[in-house]
Amino acid sequence: MKKLVMFAVFVIGTAAMVNAQTTPAQTTASKEVKATKPNKKEHKKAKADKKAETNAVKPEAAKVQK
């Protein structure tokens, strides 16, 4: 009989814990922000420009050293 009472308490307690709502439900949905993909063409162009700038500076530095 004691086991039957303990089982009933266990079942009722478990059901109460499962159905308990701890935080209020959120009514407004938040917007998802899409991540932008990096533009490969712009990256390559910027990299080429930077390389051209460093190459342009090197001959001037060589002239100054002479």
Mean pLDDT of 5-18: 92
The pTM of this model reads 0.32
Mean pLDDT of 28-44: 72
Quick one: residue 39, left, alpha or beta (phi over 0 = left, psi -120 to 50 = alpha)?
A: beta
3 state SS of 29? coil
59 residue type, one letter: P
Mean pLDDT of the chain: 76
